[in-house]
Amino acid sequence: MASYRVISSDNHIVEPPDLWTSRIEAKYKDRCPQLVEVEGGQAWVCDERRTTSTTQGTQPGVRYENPEKLKAVDTFENVRLGGYVPKEHLKDQDADGVDVSIVYPSVGLLLYGLVPDSDLLTATFKAYNDFTAEFCSADPKRLGGIAMINIDDVQEGISELERCAKLGFFGAMITVLPPVGRTYNSEEYEPFWAEAQDLNMPVSLHGATNRVGSETQAFQSGGDFAATSRPAHVVQLDYGVRMSLTDLIFTGVFERYPKLQVGAIEHELSWVPHLLDRLDYNYNQRAFGQAGYRFKNAMVPSDFFHRNVFLSFQEDALGIKLRDIIGVDGLLWAADYPHQEGTFPYSQQVLDKILSDCTEEERAKIAGGNAARVYAL
């Protein structure tokens, strides 16, 4: 086991079948996410739209041991208990050498791009947040929830952000890429950024959460997540987060809210050096550079990226090689437990391999120290 503190900055709850049907407002009970029988197993359906199966909780470690046995459809009875039982989650983290687990949803991720009805989405997120608050209360020092927030209505989003901060959530997540015409260079989001800063709630942009009506919607084919996702979307998942981070930087959000922390979650790392280069090049050479607004104190876009953006990744060895350009202080390792692409139960071996060229100080920061700082643990 590692001699330093290990924090997974991106683990997951696998939502139990009755999470929404037992908690959501009565008027949404027939439209909320629920498991239905399909060929080969079960799949989640929300408002008559089919999304993923349960495989994101039934196949941890299979890609290492028997990759040919990975499947697209399964049943909930095969989901690992740690996906929804907190004591079992902690047992698995102990076995994997992980001290703290920052938890995100599984099915919930895809709802941003699946549910156009904003009121239904808000109600769905509130029910999820209630469950997650209870889940993490089993050990608040080792389980940290990330609240799901719908900012279609910014003021409603702020209200839920405030509620979840009081419930003890470590941070909150919003859509990676908002609808066309409402991207993050819009002034309408100013109150949200201000409140997130005031509450010390880091804001996550997690992969696969592009909103309905956005420029590109990965995983929104109307079929099963694993079986019908377009490979081009999966391979280039970082497109949306690059667009949104660039909007935030060039519209001065991080200059106005210097303590705001925004995370690119499950987008890996290797795209960052090129983006940093393009940010500064275009700032200095193009119309929005010399002929446009200039940041105070001679700061350039990459300065804001290094100060205000954190990056959660699993095993991007190339990104680690480029850590001096990306910035070591912004790198947060994640196990992605219990998803099939995660590192459980081989997280220690993965960490040893990808951090082999790092100094002990760098290892300690990447494996857990940076996450502890971001989430004020």
On whether residue 61 sits in a domain, the answer given is no
Structural domain contains residue 334: yes
| Cβ–Cβ under 8 Å, residues 293 and 229 | no
Instruction: State residue 369's pLDDT score.
Output: 98
| Mean pLDDT value across the chain | 93
- Does position 229 have pLDDT exceeding 70, yes or no? no
Q: Note the pLDDT tens digit of each residue in 352-369.
A: 999 999 999 999 999 999
- The confidence score (pLDDT) of residue 324 equals 98
Q: What is the pLDDT of residue 216?
A: 67
Mean pLDDT calculated for residue range 238-261: 96
Residue 74 in domain = no
Instruction: Check residue 217 and give its pLDDT.
Output: 54
41 assigned to some structural domain: no
List CB contacts of 309: < 8 A, sequence separation 6 or more.
245, 261, 262, 263, 264, 330
Long-range contacts of residues 18-26, Cβ cutoff 8 Å, at least 24 apart: 19/127, 19/128, 19/131, 20/124, 20/127, 20/128, 23/127, 23/130, 23/131, 24/123, 24/124, 24/126, 24/127, 25/123
Domain count, the chain: 1
Question: Is the confidence at residue 226, as pLDDT, over 50?
Answer: no
* pLDDT band of 289, cuts 50, 70, 90: low
pLDDT of 195 reads 98
Q: What is the pLDDT of residue 236?
A: 82
Determine the structural domain holding residue 364 and report its residue range: 7-15+22-30+81-374
Claim: this prediction has a pTM higher than 0.85? yes
Please state whether beta strands 41-46 and 34-38 pair in parallel, antiparallel, or not at all (unpaired).
Answer: antiparallel
pLDDT number for residue 1: 56
Domain CATH number, residue 198 = 3.20.20.140
Residue 262 lies in a domain: yes
Per-residue pLDDT averaged across 151-180, rounded?
98
